[in-house]
Structure 1
Amino acid sequence: MDPLVVDVVHFYPRENSQPHYTIKFEVINEENPTTAIVRRGQPFNGVVRFTRPVDENEDTVQLVFTLGDKPQMDTQGAMFLKRDVLPDKYNWTAKILDVQGDTISFEVSTPVHLPVGVWALRVVTRVKSSQAREVYDFDQDLYILFNPWNPDDQTYMEDTNLLQEYVLNDVGKVWVGPIKTTRGKPWFYGQFDSIVLPATMFLLDRAEIPFHQRGDPIKLTRAISRIVNSNDDGGVLVGRWDGQYDDGTAPSEWTGSVEILGQYLETQQEVPYGQCWVFAGVVTTVCRALGIPSRVVSNLVSAHDANSSLTVDKYYTETMEELDFDPNNPQGADSIWNYHVWNDVWMARPDLPAGYGGWQAIDATPQETSLGMYQCGPAPLEAIKQGVIGLNFDVEFMLASVNADLMRWRKDPDSESGYSMVDTNNYHIGRMILTKKPFVFDPLGDEDRQDIIGEYKYREGTASERLALMNGVRYSERAKRYYAVAANASNDVTFKMRDIDTVPIGKDFRVIVDIDNISNEGRNIKAAITATSVFYNGVKSELVKKIEGKVFVGPQKHEQVSILVKADDYLPKLVEYCNMKISAMAIVDETKQSWADDDDFQVLRPNINIKFNEDLILNQPVTAVLSFVNPLERALTGCEFRVSSSGVAGRALRVPADDAPPRALVSAQLPVLPNKLGMISFVATFKSAELKDINGAANVEVFEG
């Protein structure tokens, strides 16, 4: 008798996908799906048909699963099909469920710590009485992913309801913009799109992560933070912050991750251009596709501590002109970003003492190297909150991002270090840390906004918050020196810059500084106020307006200085995202007391309205109308909308629009063919030569015909 010859192997892609929570992947929903997608540590079913009937006493059937081209112990599983097998969470098993004629139905169980990826299957058959064997190589894809629903998986989330948001939700929001005008920018993650898993496998290979390490979410997410930027290793996105994007796509134009990952897979080249929320959006897509719970996190007023002092230091000349470099750190100055976006990923941390599992911060935006590469994290939020900077990975950098003190220094020939302390602000950095609230999506408003600052730090000014920061300072010699100087300074004039709340684009605004002399003698004060346009990472673009002068404030008296900034002053100088920085500084002649403060705000732009002129019916064409009112006193030229949606054919659609006169309606029509039932989301962006970074989103229900 010859060994069995395999006719067909089938893994029931659709049936297995229900208990494995993989039913949303597009390839599972094709007419005759051939790709199977399952989660580790959980049984899945298959069937093998041979060219002759099976004789259970004589025939042996062996399944050999392998990952990568050089399988080792961790990346290979070989087992014989048997009747009486008990599943075991640490080993591969294959159990016969039924034998009918030429067909065997079986159930495979995989180890719960298995590396994730595309596994290959070889079926080897023998007859007991002979040495001859037949080998069959299965030629379809079998993806095995992380299983956060399984209590033994390192990515397990106890509240499994939250996995609907952090693994299965394919649309979200990223909060961008300065603290007073921050708003949620809709982002289409699209992790179930047919190109995302292949693109993810390509980028893991590009990052050269050994196959046997791909089951460890700690190593994997650290590598993902490195490979989503292109700095070291031909990663996905080229970061750029200078407004020059003509040879690529401007960061503000992207509507989601699918187009980026598709371009990366197709060209096998880095994709221009990304900024922090684009990196973070792609990271969430990759993590959710692999089954690692992930969320996008925005830190409003984010510190970049370039010299590990746990402070952000600003330096001024003797006359209080701000220096744009750090005299104590030639490598680079500290900076403050209006906001910075990174990711939290969820996992247990068996490599650390108990209590540091749960959410971990990773950051794919290249800022500082960590162990020689542009990578950051995973840093446990609990370690950041407690100021425990010795734990892996990059806790110190993340602690400074959310909780550094802002210190201002003025050149002072009489001081031992050459600089004297102007002031120190404990409240400035890390004002809010925002993410999308689970189970809510508000396309036009902010009902879906959740402030998770309490997970990153204690409330500002509380004893616990100071203790956590000082806990970090205690471990850093450099930080100790900075904090020692901050302890002594006396002042008898108070200064306060008034907040600017909202400025709609095209409107004037005024900056006011209140000065109170609380001494019993008059004070002569030199003061200056400037308004500058800035990129969101804190880099200045152009001076918009500046005033300087002297003011006398009598004993126990109040005065104010102010500057009016007109629309015509700032409109020609606005850069992307329309961020403005107001800075004020002052010196008291008699006491040499100095003061400085600055404030960021964003000139507000309208949202895109997305409307449909009739109900959406499955597979029936309908027209979407995209519109907003031009807020400027000048025409808009070179207008284009971009739209992404999970429920229509064609992933990212571009629609040119006519030039729009001043204050007129800008609109375009987009033919849409819905191909999915239920609620679908649309995400849109708009650009023109005069106005960029306009966003909008809508949720719409698609009905049966």
Structure 2
Amino acid sequence: MEDIIIKDVDLERSENLQRHKTDGFSSSKSLVVRRGATFRISLQLGGRPFNHTTDSLRVKVMLGRLYVIMPVTFCNKVSSTKWKAYMDQDNLDPQNVSIYISSPSTAPVGLYGFQLSLFSQGSKRARTYGKFILVCNPWCPEDSVYIPFEDQKEEYVQNDSGLLFMGTTMNLVSMPWSFDQYEPGVLEACLNLLQVSPQHQHNRRGDYLKRNNPVYISRVVSAMINCEDDRGVLKGNWSGDFKDGLNPSVWTGSGDILRQWAQSSYSPVKYGQCWVFAAVMCTVMRVLGIPCRVVTNFNSAHDTNGNLTIEEYYSEKGEKLKHSNDSIWNFHVWVECWMTRPDIGVDMDGWQVLDPTPQNRSGGVFCCGPSPVKAIKDRRTDLLYDVPFVCAEVNADVHTIIVSQGRVVGLNKDTEKVGSLTCTKAVGFPRMQRITGDYKFIKSPTSTISSRSSGTSDDSTLRRDSSRGVFVSLNLDKAPVAGEPISFTVKVMNKQRVAKTMTMHLNAQAKEYNHSPSDTFWQMQGLIQLAPMEVKTLTHQILPAQYEDVVGDNLINLAVVLEDRASDKRVLATEEFNISSPQLNIQISDEDSIVPNKEHTAVVTFTNPFSHMVSGVLTIAGAGLVQGKINFRMLPLHPGGKVEQRITFTPSMVGMRMLQANLSLININSTIRGFKMVSVNRA
């Protein structure tokens, strides 16, 4: 009688991808499944029929040199802690056998091999090999990354596009980003990131065993996104000189970065800044099945000496000075990942801060987190990991110091500026969601003054000086818009019954979001006469021609200093703000009837708001809509001029997709952006 043989093994990709919520990875060569769940493979047998009384099957699952051998049984009772393989005894086709393999909810993530062996009458008759990728499972209640809400799983695991928030609190910029986790090569690059890590290179067995724990995985990924200690993905650059790489503001998604890194034999991609580091980390974590979202903290403190105090220095004319190693970034971007924390207590489960931007060493390595958001709010600085550093980013006090000829002539304390807004993208909608209250206890407002104003209050060291009682505030009349004057109001209040003569210095400097400002580009000064108890309101403007050449993607630090001519003491008010760029407008014809594999048309429109001619390069991108990127060169456009660019795109995937347009201006350091959410329906 002819021996039994295994003719073919079918991994049932379509069925398993759909069952495991991994159908976005259908272009991958490997089957992607989630731990803690069962997947099915089918065997086509040849020769004599399979006889379950004399024939048996075994499955060997391998991760590196670790392996588990399972007999294939008829018992379909699976365990959340053990590997299991079984056949469906209600459907025993002797020529076509279905085998169900179940992984434990604590299995390490990675690329697995499996070996299927057929035994007959005690001897091995045949064996075959295959591969699958195992990732975490937010749908499995026993998994440490389980998240109970379906809309959150869709947003924080499956969504391949989002918004990153930048700018300032009064003038938020929504930057579209494509996470690209389903794009070709991205899944493989994310798995290779774990293989290239120092942890894996130094102890492969130990690394594989620890990959069951999202706390461990997240620390490895946080370190590997930057290249300071390893063969990481991105090189940071805040110098303004990007000639041997790309300006971080040019990137539109994670796919190009991860593929370039993998294709260059793991050489760092140049360049990244905080939002790029965070967005790429979000892609990697979502690929690995760990719920992740990108978070922006506005007025984010970098406290170098750990005293929860940031010192900012100004000259007597309102110029911001670089006299301290401490700094406040107008915004800083990190990620949060959702996981349990059995290492520090169940009350710390939930969102955890992870920051791949290389700022501070953690355990000797440039990484940060996971720091429980609950621990940050409660200031549990005794807990792992890096809670004190993140606490300072959202809760430090600011001491503003005015110096003149080496002397301190003014001092003010602000307890509200740092961490004034923490936000992320809302679930299911392209808008901002405030999460400030998750990080800190928010005090009730005690004043209607919203600017960074100062006076010689009881907190000030000047409370006994003759300038006591002089108050100044600085308020923008509206959020500044490119091409329009910056209008602002200075309010001066003499709270004493003595007339005063004051010298007013106004000063504006351009700055990057994480640096002290550069040289002054606009200033003015004058005398103010204040009668006893008088309040004066002064209006000023900075014209577009005065700021366009220095601002671009930068921000502006605006300051007013009042000098009491009688006492030589000063008071200060400041405001740091960005200027809103114009938006690219995207219109799609017949947007309610968009289906895969059919060409559709969109029109991108730009109107020049600047006072001089501009030109640039328009880039179109969109995961699941456009293959790669499409570039168009825009000819010089006169002030007020309008240009339209017609583009075509062919969707390849159903669902909500993001079509992006970015215009990089050549003669201004600025990128104009726009995006359109596209709903691709089944044909």
TM-score between both structures, scaled by the size of structure 1:
0.87
**Following superposition of structure 1 onto structure 2, how do residues 296-307 of structure 1 map, counting pairs within 5 Å?**
296-307=294-305
Partner of 1:450: 433
Aligned amino acid, residue 438 of structure 2: E
Partner of 1:242: 239
Shift, 1:514, TM fit: 2.0
Q: How has the CA–CA distance of structure 1 residues 413 and 598 changed in structure 2, closer, same or farther, with 3 Å as cutoff?
A: closer
Partner of 2:671: 693
After alignment, is 649-658 or 277-286 more displaced?
649-658
**Following superposition of structure 1 onto structure 2, how do residues 93-108 of structure 1 map, counting pairs within 5 Å?**
93-98=84-89, 99-108=92-101
Partner of 2:75: 84
Q: Answer yes or no: is 1:45 the counterpart of 2:40.
A: yes
Partner of 1:337: 329
Q: Helix, strand or coil for the counterpart of 2:198?
A: coil
Shift, 1:488, TM fit: 9.0
Q: CA–CA distance in 1 between the matches of 2:9 and 2:291?
A: 32
Aligned amino acid, residue 352 of structure 1: I
Q: How has the CA–CA distance of structure 1 residues 319 and 703 changed in structure 2, closer, same or farther, with 3 Å as cutoff?
A: closer
Contact 2:319 2:509 (8 Å CA) reproduced: no
1:440 pairs, out of 429, 432, 436, with 429
Partner of 1:189: 179
Partner of 1:206: 196
Q: CA–CA distance in 1 between the matches of 2:681 and 2:100?
A: 37
Q: Answer yes or no: is 1:536 the counterpart of 2:525.
A: no
Q: CA–CA distance in 1 between the matches of 2:314 and 2:173?
A: 33
Which whole-Å deviations, capped at 9, do the CAs of 1:664-704 have from their partners, x for residues lacking one?
Answer: 11332323223334543212211121342211111234466
Shift, 1:97, TM fit: 1.5
**Following superposition of structure 1 onto structure 2, how do residues 428-507 of structure 1 map, counting pairs within 5 Å?**
428-441=417-430, 448-460=431-443, 489=463, 491-507=468-484
Residue correspondences, number: 655
After alignment, is 586-595 or 48-57 more displaced?
586-595
**Following superposition of structure 1 onto structure 2, how do residues 350-429 of structure 1 map, counting pairs within 5 Å?**
350-410=342-402, 422-429=411-418
Q: CA–CA distance in 2 between the matches of 1:558 and 1:144?
A: 68
Shift, 1:112, TM fit: 0.7
Q: How has the CA–CA distance of structure 1 residues 374 and 493 changed in structure 2, closer, same or farther, with 3 Å as cutoff?
A: same
2:522 pairs, out of 519, 539, 545, with 545
Q: CA–CA distance in 2 between the matches of 1:84 and 1:430?
A: 55
After alignment, is 560-569 or 294-303 more displaced?
560-569
1:346 pairs, out of 325, 338, 350, with 338
Q: Answer yes or no: is 1:222 the counterpart of 2:219.
A: yes
Q: Helix, strand or coil for the counterpart of 2:533?
A: coil
Q: Answer yes or no: is 1:585 the counterpart of 2:561.
A: yes
Q: CA–CA distance in 1 between the matches of 2:484 and 2:397?
A: 34
Aligned amino acid, residue 671 of structure 1: T
Q: How has the CA–CA distance of structure 1 residues 461 and 488 changed in structure 2, closer, same or farther, with 3 Å as cutoff?
A: farther
Q: How has the CA–CA distance of structure 1 residues 119 and 243 changed in structure 2, closer, same or farther, with 3 Å as cutoff?
A: same
Which whole-Å deviations, capped at 9, do the CAs of 1:252-276 have from their partners, x for residues lacking one?
Answer: 2222112222222222322122222
Q: CA–CA distance in 2 between the matches of 1:335 and 1:301?
A: 10
Shift, 1:435, TM fit: 1.0
Q: CA–CA distance in 1 between the matches of 2:106 and 2:173?
A: 39
Q: CA–CA distance in 1 between the matches of 2:70 and 2:584?
A: 57
Q: Answer yes or no: is 1:161 the counterpart of 2:151.
A: yes
Q: Helix, strand or coil for the counterpart of 2:617?
A: strand
Partner of 2:640: 663
Shift, 1:509, TM fit: 2.5
Q: CA–CA distance in 1 between the matches of 2:480 and 2:62?
A: 60
Structure 2 gap ranges (5+):
200-206, 447-457
Q: Answer yes or no: is 1:672 the counterpart of 2:653.
A: no
Aligned amino acid, residue 420 of structure 2: R
Shift, 1:311, TM fit: 1.5
Which whole-Å deviations, capped at 9, do the CAs of 1:104-136 have from their partners, x for residues lacking one?
Answer: 311111111111111111223444444x66543
Q: CA–CA distance in 2 between the matches of 1:296 and 1:508?
A: 33
Q: CA–CA distance in 2 between the matches of 1:164 and 1:403?
A: 32
After alignment, is 557-566 or 13-22 more displaced?
557-566
Q: CA–CA distance in 2 between the matches of 1:549 and 1:403?
A: 37
Q: CA–CA distance in 2 between the matches of 1:193 and 1:289?
A: 11
Shift, 1:386, TM fit: 1.0
1:602 pairs, out of 578, 587, 600, with 578
Shift, 1:607, TM fit: 0.7
Contact 1:40 1:144 (8 Å CA) reproduced: yes
Q: Helix, strand or coil for the counterpart of 2:548?
A: helix
Q: Helix, strand or coil for the counterpart of 2:547?
A: helix
Shift, 1:659, TM fit: 2.5
Q: Helix, strand or coil for the counterpart of 1:248?
A: coil
Q: How has the CA–CA distance of structure 1 residues 78 and 318 changed in structure 2, closer, same or farther, with 3 Å as cutoff?
A: same
After alignment, is 103-112 or 608-617 more displaced?
608-617
Aligned amino acid, residue 262 of structure 1: R
Q: How has the CA–CA distance of structure 1 residues 153 and 181 changed in structure 2, closer, same or farther, with 3 Å as cutoff?
A: same
Q: Helix, strand or coil for the counterpart of 2:105?
A: coil
Q: How has the CA–CA distance of structure 1 residues 500 and 4 changed in structure 2, closer, same or farther, with 3 Å as cutoff?
A: farther
Partner of 1:180: 170
Q: CA–CA distance in 1 between the matches of 2:381 and 2:410?
A: 26
Aligned amino acid, residue 370 of structure 2: P
Q: Helix, strand or coil for the counterpart of 1:282?
A: helix
Contact 2:412 2:459 (8 Å CA) reproduced: no
Which whole-Å deviations, capped at 9, do the CAs of 1:263-292 have from their partners, x for residues lacking one?
Answer: 222223221222222222111111111111
Q: CA–CA distance in 1 between the matches of 2:509 and 2:135?
A: 49
Partner of 1:612: 588
Aligned amino acid, residue 493 of structure 1: V
Q: Answer yes or no: is 1:284 the counterpart of 2:321.
A: no
Shift, 1:156, TM fit: 0.8
TM-score between both structures, scaled by the size of structure 2:
0.89
Q: How has the CA–CA distance of structure 1 residues 436 and 129 changed in structure 2, closer, same or farther, with 3 Å as cutoff?
A: closer
After alignment, is 492-501 or 520-529 more displaced?
520-529
Q: Answer yes or no: is 1:35 the counterpart of 2:21.
A: no
Q: Answer yes or no: is 1:622 the counterpart of 2:611.
A: no
Contact 2:282 2:292 (8 Å CA) reproduced: yes
Shift, 1:419, TM fit: 6.1
Contact 2:411 2:461 (8 Å CA) reproduced: no
Q: CA–CA distance in 2 between the matches of 1:540 and 1:318?
A: 16
Partner of 2:450: none
Partner of 2:19: 19
Partner of 1:136: 128
Q: Helix, strand or coil for the counterpart of 2:27?
A: helix
Aligned amino acid, residue 68 of structure 2: G
Q: How has the CA–CA distance of structure 1 residues 11 and 703 changed in structure 2, closer, same or farther, with 3 Å as cutoff?
A: closer
After alignment, is 578-587 or 418-427 more displaced?
418-427
Q: Helix, strand or coil for the counterpart of 1:658?
A: strand
Q: CA–CA distance in 2 between the matches of 1:499 and 1:231?
A: 40
Q: How has the CA–CA distance of structure 1 residues 486 and 549 changed in structure 2, closer, same or farther, with 3 Å as cutoff?
A: closer
Q: CA–CA distance in 2 between the matches of 1:657 and 1:562?
A: 38
Aligned amino acid, residue 14 of structure 2: R
Q: CA RMSD in A?
A: 2.8
Shift, 1:2, TM fit: 10
Which protein has the bigger strand share?
Answer: 2
Q: How has the CA–CA distance of structure 1 residues 184 and 373 changed in structure 2, closer, same or farther, with 3 Å as cutoff?
A: same
Q: How has the CA–CA distance of structure 1 residues 495 and 10 changed in structure 2, closer, same or farther, with 3 Å as cutoff?
A: same
Contact 1:253 1:642 (8 Å CA) reproduced: no
Q: How has the CA–CA distance of structure 1 residues 656 and 317 changed in structure 2, closer, same or farther, with 3 Å as cutoff?
A: closer
Contact 1:655 1:670 (8 Å CA) reproduced: no
